[in-house]
Structure 1
């Protein structure tokens, strides 16, 4: 029998003390071995699933559990142990271990203790679910499990990337929801179904996939089990109209709901000052200066703050200390829309304005210090119902990488007049080297005419690049939000109509040409590659 090391013994005694008195622990240690089929490790893992995770899946559960994680584990475990059918939704932030808990710890515990006979977990796609199945397989083949529970793998039984059957006849299978679900019933129906993050980015950007998911959930997934089947739905609230949002409000479902930040600072004024320091792209030491400001005002800046998981950012593994401070760093990086959606489970309504905080520039760097592009989203003509033709001259400062909307225009003009306006802009801003031209159907012909006109004007240095949108327009525009909010994209206050259309943008907005061409220009200027440096060969080569 393998001996436990000091760390494992301390772990065992720590969790034993949560359930037994000192005298009871002494009696247990005297009468039972620490490991093996009748060992204390196995017995304690059955009654305390948190200890089970630490003892048998320690590579996935290295950090301390937050209170919320303990609640999720105990609630799902109690659901499995009850005789009644349980429908439980767990809505938790990203990067808080909810999938590891629900799709690894829970099915692994239910399998080795034989609490369920057929465990099925379904994710957004087969690759994600297969990844968790691989982790379960690895855990079932670990030395600790073999020592305490015996060999789980039987060569005569299924054990592959789609499913496994333990030596005791417990099935664990996985699937993506877009795969065929009707054939997943084995000799019996699943008695535990775990749904993990069914809605990924691809689904949320496609109305047709959202409808397909709704149909799969109502017509197939919900009918896979029987009257005693427990169903756990784990995810993050990506939209107010998402499937998870509807499920958690249905009377047949219980819900555990969590937010990354439980309460915010009482006074945000100091954090506003911190943001101005952190966002100052002209200051190469801005990140350290911002942290110094935080350290000097830490007490006041954290007054009223409470986060969901203090242990999420181990102090020996991060440069800047403090859970809330690191959350604020991620908030700056990802933007407000992502923060409220991914961390707070409060997704911005599709009706809300997402680019409403435009910042303008007072002075403009020299054009020779910037990469300059022109984005063009052409329209057909000047009828009142036609879309605007949108033009955006966007410059990227080479040193700070800040972007400047030097000129933004909206016009309802025929193609020949639009081409003349483009030529005029190229003459006005000779630093323009690339024109990004949104090209769908007839627009490609306008682009060809533009190339010909540039040749006639002998503007050979200007490249016309056809751009064909490949993703959902709203999703593309949403990606601009963090850069606009942080002031990494600055606007020309004189471009009133262009700026107002950007500010007024929301899902389903009547006019979206300005934010659309801004996104096109942003991708264009970010795609410009730096020229390779040419080094002279040393003398004698």
Structure 2
């Protein structure tokens, strides 16, 4: 083949690619995702594609693991770009690595998808990197690539885009405190939005983390009439049903709800954050530690049912330790269950033995003073445990408000992957279905205030925390 024939063949291939691009622009996105990408679409995936296609701005809140990134962040912009190779698309996620992972998936499709290779051939232009992709079909000069990936809070000054995709830009870290939420909102409105062309598109997909997160503001404002919310568990014919039964069955979702607790499950799988508002204990006051200090002054707090016949209440036990230097309290363990009297005694003994050590002793086992619990306390005393019977003279809400300052001052810390039932009681208090773990924790915190800073106990007379 001589040089003239080679040039002619390249021009013909380019013309055919342009014809395929024009044909693709007329191709329904569902057909593209199914036939070209090979994805099996659920009914809600089809709704997402239609919602993005028909709206210049869209907000889709969907449960974790239900394919929102595959459909909305990878498939949709790829379909749009192949139909219009002049587009400048920005993909933003909570981290740069996550955004680049979306771009890698798009790049993989462009480089190795047989359907695309048969119609377009080699589409790689320059740049063709981890964070930027240009198609060779593009002929207009622009400093922005066809596809750019960037982490949230990244610099985009003096750049302009025809489409912006935001995928999970809200996460646990940037939604936890008011300062972090304001930082994200300021970047969104002052830095990101000015980069969108006046006739451009912006599509947001994510999952709720906090009732005051960026999604909450958008729902109440400019996306009030431009959003769709999907829940992993929905009501169907008066009963709970899974949104995607083949992947997340009803049984699996119920198990996840049990493991995570209602508050976290509702946020991550239901996109419901009303339970996170907290009447007394705010979510941003909940602090976590990676590992507790080695030397702690420890206590066990125990709350029993009012009577042996009270089947509505649980036996609850909380273990906590105070670090003398910082005066911070570390919640170490929490358990509640419906147990017989003998099993309750056995459980208390086991937890005492587990957490008591010469360098980090259990100084008190705190039990509320009443007739039924006194019999329990006596059993523990006979076993040699340092039991303290504590008299309470205030109602639960008043005692909760006494704890509020310690939470607000971030003086109480929790383990990262346990004690979910206790956290749920705190965040829902006083509307929680149960509050026995709260009672067990509160009795410990109040008792730490009766210890000398030296760590030695005051006189063992019964005390009333007021």
Residue 175 of structure 1 is matched in structure 2 by 150
State the match for 1:525 in structure 2.
none
**1:432 corresponds to:** 356
Kept in 2: contact 1:123–1:129 (CA 8 A): yes
Structure 1: stretches of 5+ with no match in the other structure: 1-35, 80-85, 267-303, 314-322, 364-371, 381-386, 408-425, 438-471, 488-495, 504-510, 518-541
CA–CA distance in structure 2, aligned partners of residues 41 and 97 of structure 1: 26
Q: Which residue of 2 aligns with 1:90?
A: 60
Shift of 1:113: 1.3
Cα-to-partner distance string for 1:45-75 (whole Å, 9 max, x where unaligned): 85222232233333xx3xx422211100122
8 Å Cα contact 1:66-1:311 kept in structure 2: no
Change (3 A) 1:474 1:405: farther
CA-CA distance at 1:223 after TM superposition: 0.7
Residue by residue over 1:2-25, the C-alpha shift from the partner in whole angstroms, topping out at 9 and shown as x without a partner, is: xxxxxxxxxxxxxxxxxxxxxxxx
Is 1:327 equivalent to 2:253 in the alignment?
yes
TM-score between both structures, scaled by the size of structure 2:
0.60
Shift in CA distance, 339/378, structure 1 to aligned 2, threshold 3 Å:
same
In the alignment, the residues of structure 2 paired with residue 359 and residue 46 of structure 1 have an alpha-carbon distance, to the nearest angstrom, of 67
Deviations 1:93-122 (A, max 9, x none): 111111111210011111111176101111
State the Cα deviation string for residues 174-200 of structure 1 (Å, max 9, x = none). Answer: 1012221215x2xxx211101111111
- Where does structure 2 lack aligned partners over 5 or more consecutive residues? 1-15, 139-144, 283-301, 309-317, 337-343, 363-409, 426-434, 450-466
| CA deviation vs aligned residue, 1:227-255 (integer Å, no higher than 9, x gap) | 10111111112111011111122145511
For the residue of structure 1 that corresponds to 2:234, the secondary structure is strand
1:474-504 CA deviation, whole Å, 9 max, x = no partner?
88478545354999xxxxxxxx99843747x
Structure-to-structure mapping, 1:124-163, within 5 angstroms: 124-142=94-112, 143-154=114-125, 157-163=126-132
**Once the two structures are superposed, what CA deviation does each residue of 1:406-437 show, in whole Å capped at 9, x if it has no partner?**
49xxxxxxxxxxxxxxxxxx9x9697126399
Deviation at 1:349, TM superposition (A): 2.6
The aligned runs of 1:270-349 (5 Å cut-off) are 304-313=239-248, 323-347=249-273, 348-349=275-276
Query: Do residues 376 (structure 1) and 319 (structure 2) align?
Result: no
CA shift for structure 1 position 211 = 1.4
- Structure 2 distance, partners of 1:515, 1:477, is 21
How many Å apart are 1:360 and its aligned residue? 4.9
CA spacing shift, 1:516–1:394, aligned 2, 3 Å: farther
Deviations 1:507-526 (A, max 9, x none): xxxx9957999xxxxxxxxx
Give me the whole-angstrom Cα distance separating, in 2, the residues matched to 1:130 and 1:341: 26
Q: CA deviation at 1:172?
A: 0.6
The count of corresponding residues between Structure 1 and Structure 2 is 333
Cα distance, 1:168–1:474 mapped onto 2, change above 3 Å: farther
The correspondence for 2:207, drawn from 193, 217, 236, is 236
Post-superposition Cα deviations, 1:189-234, rounded to whole Å, max 9, x if no partner, equal 2111011111112212343222110110110111111210111111
RMSD value over aligned CA atoms? 4.6
Once residues 179 and 484 of structure 1 are traced to their aligned partners in structure 2, the CA distance between those partners, rounded to angstroms, is: 37
* 2:23–2:83 CA contact under 8 A, matched in 1: no
Alignment of 1:9-88 (within 5 A): 46-58=26-38, 61=39, 64-79=40-55, 86-88=56-58
Matched, 1:220 2:191: yes
- The separation in 1 between residues aligned to 2:203 and 2:193, in whole angstroms, is 11
Task: Give, in whole Å, the separation in 2 of the partners of 1:215 and 1:332.
Answer: 36
Q: Choose from 82, 88, 98 the match for 1:118.
A: 88
1:344-377 deviations in whole A, cap 9, x for unaligned? 111223324789xx985899xxxxxxxx986225
1:173 aligns to what SS in structure 2? Answer: strand
SS in structure 1 of the partner of residue 161 of structure 2: coil
User: Which whole-Å CA distance do the structure 2 matches of 1:307 and 1:497 have between them?
Assistant: 31
Matched residue, 1:422: none
| Corresponding residue number in structure 2 for 1:202 | 173
Structure 2 vs 1, CA of residues 243 and 359 (structure 1 numbering), >3 Å: closer, same or farther? farther
Contact 2:81 2:87 survives alignment (8 Å): yes
SS in structure 1 at match of 2:64: coil
Conservation of the 8 A alpha-carbon contact between 1:354 and 1:478? no
Q: Provide the TM-score with structure 1 as the length reference.
A: 0.52
Aligned residue for 2:370? none
1:500-539 matches, cutoff 5 A = 500=439, 502=441, 513=445
